[in-house]
Copies of this chain bind each other. A is one copy, B any other.
Amino acid sequence: MIAILSGGVGAARFAAGVTQIMEPSEVTIISNVGDDEVMHGLHISPDIDTVIYTLGNAINPETGWGLKDETWRVMEALGDYGGETWFRLGDKDLATHMFRTHMLASGKSLTKITELIRQRWGVEVNVLPATNDRLRTKLYAEIDGREQELSFQEYFVRHAHEPEIKRIVYENSSSALPTREVTRAIETAELIIVAPSNPLLSIAPILSIAPIAESLKTRRDRIVAISPIIAGAAVKGPAAKLMKELGFMPSALGVAQFYRDFISAIVIDEKDADLKDQISALNIEVLTTNTLMTDPVVSAQLAQQVLKLKKVK
Contacts and interface: CB of A to CB of B under 8 A. Distances in A.
A102 interface: yes
Interface in A234-256: none
Nearest to A94: B74
B81 A40 contact: no
Interface residues of A, number: 32
A41 B81 contact: no
Contact of A95 (B38, B74, B116): B74
Given A71-B91, A77-B91, 15 more contacts: A38-B41, A40-B98, A41-B105, A42-B42, A73-B92, A74-B74, A74-B92, A74-B94, A77-B96, A78-B95, A78-B98, A78-B99, A81-B99, A81-B117, A84-B102
13 contacts: A38-B41, A38-B105, A40-B99, A40-B101, A41-B97, A41-B105, A73-B91, A74-B91, A74-B98, A77-B96, A78-B99, A81-B117, A91-B91
Interface of A: 38-43, 71, 73-78, 80-84, 91-92, 94-99, 101-102, 105, 116-117, 120
